[in-house]
Amino acid sequence: MKLTDYIGIADAHGIESFKKKTEADDHFLGCISIRAQTNRQRHAVVYMAKLTETGEQEVESQIEKGDFVGALKTLKGYAVSLSCESGWEKSFKMIPNPDLDPWYKEEEEEEK
């Protein structure tokens, strides 16, 4: 069984980025860390996951559909191993949940 390491950002609205770790350069790693830190009000975290090919395809399919909440739920369901930056575990357990975003307005989502 082939496993691939992924890294990215997830928050109350689901997966924001999903990238193979082998394709993540230092610039990307630095940027996602800063982005997650500056969006903690949305419980943003940097996650690391190991996925099978089936898991990769399922997550990518959800992302392509624009279902970022579903993509994070799928990632959590298919990951062989899954973790986030130390100290952010509680946030990671609570997401996805758009209601955790203090500025989230349901009607904005419906307009899209």
Supply the pLDDT for residue 20.
97
Please calculate the CA angle 7-63-58 and round it to the nearest 5 degrees: 80
Supply the pLDDT for residue 45.
97
How far is it, in rounded angstroms, from Cα 13 to Cα 103?
Answer: 12
How far is it, in rounded angstroms, from Cα 81 to Cα 50?
Answer: 5
Classify strands 19-20 and 14-15 as parallel, antiparallel or unpaired: unpaired
Supply the pLDDT for residue 43.
96
Supply the pLDDT for residue 13.
96
pLDDT beneath 70: ranges in the chain = 106-112
Return the number of other C-beta atoms located less than 10 Å from residue 16's C-beta: 19
Supply the pLDDT for residue 103.
82
Supply the pLDDT for residue 112.
47
